[in-house]
Structure 1
Amino acid sequence: MKYFNAKLILPDALVKELQNYVQGGYIYVPIEQEQQKRWGEVSGYRQELEQRNEQIKREYQNGISMECLSEKYGLSFYAVRKIIYQK
């Protein structure tokens, strides 16, 4: 999250109005809902997890047990089972 000096980016009238509510503090301005990205989309981690999960499913279909997969990927048995059986 970046911080900006309000005096540098906002009109003076708006800065004065904001100072009626907050002085010397921080205000979080949320992103508009339609511009908001889902978790992991910006960093690419969501895609990495999807690829990992597909690999786990393929390996399971090729005969590797859930116990071996849980050890290989550092996941619990239940997490591996959830990945394999999710639709």
Structure 2
Amino acid sequence: MSYVRAEDILPKELIESIQQYVSGKTIYIPCKEKKIWGSQSKSKQYYEIRNHEICKKHSIGISIKKLANEYSLSEKSIQRILRTTIFTGEAAP
């Protein structure tokens, strides 16, 4: 997250109004439109494909321990992926 000086972008009247509530402090102003997690970096798609692969490998008999080693995850993480990922046996998204 980058910071922008209020004086560079806001009118003086608005700054004076905000100073009535908070002065000399850093405040966060949220975006109007919330972006979906992973939409810019494609990380959501990466994890969906990875989790699908894990489910597919587990369905053909690969153990949780081997999957944990292969994907550098804990066995608990593999169990959670298996429990929460919908696997239909079809190709990954």
Quick one: which amino acid aligns to residue 29 of structure 1?
A: I
Aligned partners of 1:25, 1:78: CA distance in 2, in Å? 42
- Name structure 1 gaps, 5 residues minimum: none
Q: Which has the higher contact order (CA 8 A, sep 6+)?
A: 2
Task: Tell me by how many angstroms 1:14 deviates.
Answer: 0.7
Q: Distance in 1 between matches of 2:24 and 2:64?
A: 55
- Matched position secondary structure for 1:42: coil
Query: Matched residue pairs, number?
Result: 85
How far did residue 53 of structure 1 move?
A: 0.4
Q: TM-score by structure 2 length?
A: 0.73
The alignment's C-alpha RMSD in Å is: 1.9
Which residue number corresponds to residue 29 of structure 1?
Answer: 29
Percent of counterpart pairs with the same letter? 36
Return the alpha-carbon distance in structure 2 between the equivalents of residues 67 and 20 of structure 1. 58
- Distance, in Å, in 1 between the alignment partners of 2:81 and 2:7 is 50
Secondary structure in 2 matching 1:78: helix
Choose which of 49, 65, 87 in structure 2 pairs with 1:67: 65
**Corresponding position of 1:79:** 77
